[in-house]
Structure 1
Amino acid sequence: MEEPRLNHVQCLNTRGLHRMAYWEWGDPTNSRVLVCVHGLTRQGRDFDTLARAMCQHYRVVCPDVAGRGESDWLPDPMGYVVPAYVADMVTLLARLNAQTVDWVGTSMGGLIGMGLSSLPNSPVRRLVLNDVGPRIEFGALERIGRYVGEPVTWGSFDEAADAMRLICAGFGPHTPEQWDALNRAHLKQNAQGRWVTRYDPSIAVPFKAVTPEMAAAGEAQMWQAWDRITAQTLLVRGAQSDLVTAQTAAEMSRRGPKATTVAFDGVGHAPTLIAPEQLEVVGRFLLN
């Protein structure tokens, strides 16, 4: 079974430099590049199944966004915001020497993709948004805020994995082997031998500072960005998602890039793009 190569690129922050890790699959000389970016508390190995399916066609690159996975933690927690992540991705694309890219973004990774795609002369050719859009339901933000950044540790991997399956119930049905793969990449032991999630708890600082008024102002800006996107766009979502409603999906299909939309039954926030029917939908969009 093919495994990814781990690389790093230096990026700028408000107090200096940090290293962003990225997992690379396929031929490193392939000019056809697919960038896959994870959600708020996750990391690039979430895309292993999709990357294995796509790496015969693409150079697949799955970054660990700053503060997650193998990437450095930021010295200033207020740097954990989408505009800074967009800047990091521009640095990554320069390292890759990618003239155009296709993009798959789950939740936060989709917001980063929208930000990059909305810029003049954007390199994004095809954009897959996984359960995210310009309008994010505030109730979903509150739900996520109840667990993100909480200082929880576990005494064993199995105990931690059980907790992750509860937190990630919205991912939908998975086999024990699939859960194990998702959790082994997401969990690590700390210096005391306790199991913890593989992200900086301080990512919660700017996230939990969001008020309903700030969310509304941000939504207005995101719809403006949406209307500037020209990339061919696919929105996939969980039919039971509490983050992107059917009404938001319908509006995304009517304006801006007029996204094609697909909902997966039995899934909330967010599809993991592991199930065969999910892989088929995304692969068909990217390769046709």
Structure 2
Amino acid sequence: MPADFDNGESIFVSARDGLRLHVRAFGPRHGNRMPLICLPGLSRNSRDFLGLAAHFANHPKAPRRVYAMDFRGRGLSGYDANWRNYNVMTEAEDVLSVLAALDIDRAVFVGTSRGGLVTMLLTAMRPGAIGAAILNDIGPAIEGAGLIQIRLYLKQLPQPHGWAEAVETQKVVMARAFTSLTEDDWRFEAHARFREIDGAIRPDHDPALVRTLTAIDPGDRLPTVWPQFAGLRSVPTLLLRGENSTLLSEETTGRMAAIHPALTRVDIAGQGHAPMLHTPQPLAAIEAFVGRLR
């Protein structure tokens, strides 16, 4: 990464089917505060959380253990020979494998986009594991147009010739929705999205991942997870929504607030899908929220 962020300790865990899962660990190994479990978006990876992890792992008053996971087919986790296993149910089962391997009973789950959907599924699969939830630009209903944009983006991702070109690539694709980023933020984004593999800078995910989106039509009614979201009513929940998000609608956020009256909502100015958690406004919102937890 371009900034002085710690990459954490790499831990490898076996999924139920034997595939190797990668997790980054940061901060104190022992303590009485709930750890943070960070789950990334569809094609993203654990490096998205390096800034957030550095903040909480090294907090001067209330340091916490932080774990950031690479879902299968992303980052340093193994690629699945069957692309159909790139689904939220399998990924939720992978999270349970990680919790068991690391002996984590209860945690604060930070879910960006896809990671937030996995968090909601866990309310049915292991409700006691969720001590609090932070949903980053995701709700129980997803806007089809936003998902189509993600598919188009993944299909067109180039192989940059150098890191400067990688930064410019991200600006071209994202600058309209992300108007408040600094040059350091753009460099962070490029180094989170891409990785140097065998001397070439490549998107850090299995190319087969895009096949999971090929059948989606803009007019389709996508599956929803409202009952699973309702499972969060008993725990503190923070919702971050990008001001320019195309994936999380005002209608959905309004319904979420009606179902979960204690939901804390923060709109992130000058950012789209999904807000970058190391930037000042979302980091301050998470700091205030986590500060109320044990």
Please show how residues 185-200 of structure 1 align to structure 2 within 5 Å: 185-191=192-198, 193-200=199-206
1:182 matched to 2:180: no
Q: Distance between the aligned counterparts of 1:11 and 1:152, measured in 2?
A: 31
Q: Distance between the aligned counterparts of 1:153 and 1:183, measured in 2?
A: 12
Match among 196, 206, 216 for residue 210 of structure 1: 216
Distance change >3 Å, CA 147–CA 253, structure 1 → 2: same
> How much has 1:212 moved relative to structure 2?
5.9
> How much has 1:261 moved relative to structure 2?
1.2
Please say if residues 232 and 257 of structure 1, whose CA atoms lie closer than 8 Å, have aligned partners that are also in contact: no
Q: Distance between the aligned counterparts of 2:95 and 2:265, measured in 1?
A: 25
Match among 181, 202, 224 for residue 227 of structure 2: 224
The SS at the match of 1:12 is: coil
Distance change >3 Å, CA 284–CA 155, structure 1 → 2: same
Aligned to 1:142: 148
Aligned to 1:20: 21
Q: Which moved more, 1:159-168 or 1:273-282?
A: 159-168
The SS at the match of 1:63 is: strand
Please say if residues 171 and 270 of structure 1, whose CA atoms lie closer than 8 Å, have aligned partners that are also in contact: no
Aligned to 1:254: 258
Once the two structures are superposed, what CA deviation does each residue of 1:130-182 show, in whole Å capped at 9, x if it has no partner? 00001111100111110224463222222222112223333442221222123
Q: Which moved more, 1:176-185 or 1:87-96?
A: 176-185
Q: Distance between the aligned counterparts of 1:257 and 1:110, measured in 2?
A: 19
Which structure 2 segments of 5+ residues have no match?
none
Aligned to 2:158: 152
> Number of aligned pairs?
281
Distance change >3 Å, CA 159–CA 5, structure 1 → 2: same
Q: Which moved more, 1:17-26 or 1:147-156?
A: 147-156
Match among 264, 269, 286 for residue 265 of structure 1: 269
Please say if residues 130 and 235 of structure 2, whose CA atoms lie closer than 8 Å, have aligned partners that are also in contact: yes
Q: If the length of structure 2 is used for normalisation, what is the TM-score?
A: 0.89
Q: Distance between the aligned counterparts of 1:175 and 1:211, measured in 2?
A: 35
1:85 matched to 2:87: no
1:278 matched to 2:282: yes
Aligned to 1:49: 51
Code of the aligned partner of 1:287: G
Q: Which moved more, 1:258-267 or 1:75-84?
A: 258-267
> How much has 1:30 moved relative to structure 2?
3.2
Q: Distance between the aligned counterparts of 1:167 and 1:119, measured in 2?
A: 36
Q: Distance between the aligned counterparts of 2:164 and 2:123, measured in 1?
A: 40
CA RMSD of aligned residues (A): 2.0
Q: Which moved more, 1:174-183 or 1:35-44?
A: 174-183
Q: Distance between the aligned counterparts of 2:289 and 2:127, measured in 1?
A: 22
Distance change >3 Å, CA 143–CA 151, structure 1 → 2: closer
Q: Distance between the aligned counterparts of 1:29 and 1:168, measured in 2?
A: 39
Q: Distance between the aligned counterparts of 1:257 and 1:30, measured in 2?
A: 31
The SS at the match of 2:15 is: strand
> How much has 1:205 moved relative to structure 2?
1.2
> How much has 1:243 moved relative to structure 2?
0.8
State the 4+ residue runs in structure 1 displaced beyond 4 angstroms. 211-215
Structure 1 vs Structure 2: percent identity of aligned residues?
Answer: 28
Aligned to 1:103: 109
Q: Distance between the aligned counterparts of 2:228 and 2:192, measured in 1?
A: 33
Distance change >3 Å, CA 188–CA 228, structure 1 → 2: closer
Which structure 1 segments of 5+ residues have no match?
none
Distance change >3 Å, CA 149–CA 90, structure 1 → 2: farther
